[in-house]
A and B are shown apart, each in its own frame.
Chain A
Amino acid sequence: MFGLIGHLTSLAHAKQVADKLGYAEYAESDLDFWCMAPPQVVDEIVVTSITGQKIYGQYVESCFLPEMLASGRVKAACRKVLNAMALAQRRGLDITALGGFSSIIFENFRLETLKRVRNVDLEIRRFTTGNTHTAYIICQQLQAAAQRYAMDLAAATVAVVGATGDIGSAVCQWLVNRTSVAKLLLIARERRRLEELQAKLKKGEICSLEEALPRADFIVWVASLSQGVTLDPQVLPDPCVIIDGGYPKNIASQLQRKGLYVIDGGMVEHSLDIEWTIMQFLNVANPARHLFACFAESMLLEFEGLHTNFSWGRNLITLEKLDLIGELSRKHGFRPLMPAA
């Protein structure tokens, strides 16, 4: 049995979903209440592979909301993640993906030091960030976009914003080793880590966001969007492809211009309908088939009986792991999600 730990994108969104699900107490309550709300298993999932294999899973709503971080309620945010993980483990879920902000919170606030949650000792092997599959899918989306918009990668400049993060560094490795990308621009906050990445890649130019934007034919956005950063579409080349790896996907609504193509990064499409109800609340076009690649990673691991923390820690994603998860993704019928032509 696999698990997905998810959360909603804002308090308003959460209240709306709670109302639709008939949880009146949650629908009518403010952030203080959500800060105390316990995690819940809110959906049972059945996924069928194109091989015919069926797997079963559960969706754990952590009750985390991004407003908790925005208002500095770090303790509440951390509790949501740990309590959701403890619940997944108590339910006996063999492999659970930490969706949305969950794994960022786990890593950023060093929750690995707090592995005991009440009477549960968290077994980390039961959890995966799903980052390997997300990185793989972003790379596939980039290559598919190059084909669709007739852009030659061998002559293209790709900017990776958030290059030193777990997903960003994996994307960089793939681009350097598995594609013919002409130029790679590395953008992140910490200079030292950028230099380390550059040394490892033996390729790539470290530059600022402002310098990168006018030069980038492709932008892979996998960084946290710090407050105050706004993207001016006029400075971007024409054509330009942006792969928005953030959650929620909010670049497309901000940026609209001719010759600018925004792709929901790290999203996959399954070949067969998935039996679940929760995705209809997560703002995707086709809830029976569209999902986050990180969620799909726990499904792939469940299909294969790989009950292990396949993606964990920072910058540990290797090309071999990317190849393997890609192979499994295709085998079971997942495809990178591309916008309608």
Chain B
Amino acid sequence: MAPANVSLPANASDTTLDYSSPAYRQAYSRINGIVIEGEQEAHDNYLRLAEMLPAAAEELRKLAKMELRHMKGFQACGKNLKVEPDREFARAFFAPLRDNFQKAAVAADLVTCLVIQSLIIECFAIAAYNIYIPVADEFARKITEGVVQDEYLHLNFGERWLGEHFAEVKTQIETANAQNLPLVWKMLQQVNEDIEAIYMDREAIVEDFLIAYGEALANIGFNTREVMRLSAQGLRAA
């Protein structure tokens, strides 16, 4: 260490978290809706992947079941705060990503399906849950802490399969990344204000996503330069 040649700003004081304000509850209704919908989609996607990948069907069905359990957990979080999740908003929110997954599934494009579900959605969930935990109400914090551990396992499934087939699927991963990652940045932008209203930090979510996603890409076989290029794809434009 060497001393800093700049002035350090004063420590930021902690904000008191109010879970009952109308602003919080309105934002929570949309974010809770997104989380519930996200888990539902993850469940459906894993069942679809089980059909596409019979050799791993049993494991994938287990993952699907876990996602359903997460969904129920998050429904309980909404009930606990007496907030009705905005499912309609959430379905529209996920539509572009869902469409891409379904198109890929119809075309039997397993790589794109795994990139969307096992990498992008899982990493996004991990990032959002990690950043939510420190600002969550006590009930939701406990539930989310349990969920995030499971999501790391789910990420691991996609990483493993794509890593084992890296040589033959590398280009396909890059294409799927280019088509789908920019959607995530756009989705995130739609809920910027809601994220802030529930005391989460958008920058921190993106950074956490980049860490989880970058690690996954590195585990699959991409080198540092490729990881930096792929994980930041479309971010600057967002």
Which residues of A pack against B, CB within 8 Å? Answer: 21-26, 28-29, 32-33, 35-42, 66, 69-70, 72, 74-76, 79, 83, 87, 97-104, 108-110, 118-119, 129-131, 134, 162, 165-167, 222-227, 245-248, 250, 265-266, 292, 294, 311
Contacts and interface: CB of A to CB of B under 8 A. Distances in A.
Nearest to B201: A75
A42 B224 contact: yes
A224 B1 contact: no
A219 B64 CA distance: 66
A25 B192 CA distance: 23
A104 B201 contact: no
B1 A22 contact: no
Given A38-B214, A119-B152, A227 B7 contact: yes
B203 A66 contact: no
B184 interface: no
B206 A104 contact: no
A246 B1 contact: no
Contacts of A97: 1
B23 interface: no
Interface in B198-238: 201, 203-204, 206-208, 210-211, 214, 224-225, 228-229, 231-233, 235-236
Contacts of B167: none
B2 A134 contact: yes
B6 interface: yes
Interface string B164-196: 000000000000000000000000000000000
By CB atoms of chain A within 10 A, which of B3, B12, B152, B224 has the most?
Answer: B3
Q: Most chain-B CB neighbours within 10 Å: which of A118, A166, A248? A: A118
B1 A129 contact: yes
A29 B236 contact: yes
A109 B11 CA distance: 6
Contacts of A21: 225
B151 to A, nearest CB: 10
A75 B7 contact: no
Interface size classification for chain B:
20 to 34
B8 A69 contact: yes
A123 to B, nearest CB: 19
Given A40-B228, A98-B1, A35 B203 contact: yes
B5 A75 contact: no
Given A40-B228, A41-B224, A131 B152 contact: no
B4 interface: yes
Contact of B1 (A25, A72, A130): A130
Given A38-B211, A134-B2, A224-B8, A23 B203 contact: no
A22 B211 contact: no
B2 A22 contact: no
Contacts of A29: 236
Contacts of A101: 1, 4
18 contacts: A23-B225, A24-B229, A28-B236, A36-B206, A70-B6, A100-B1, A101-B1, A102-B1, A119-B152, A129-B1, A166-B1, A224-B4, A224-B5, A226-B7, A245-B2, A246-B5, A247-B2, A292-B2
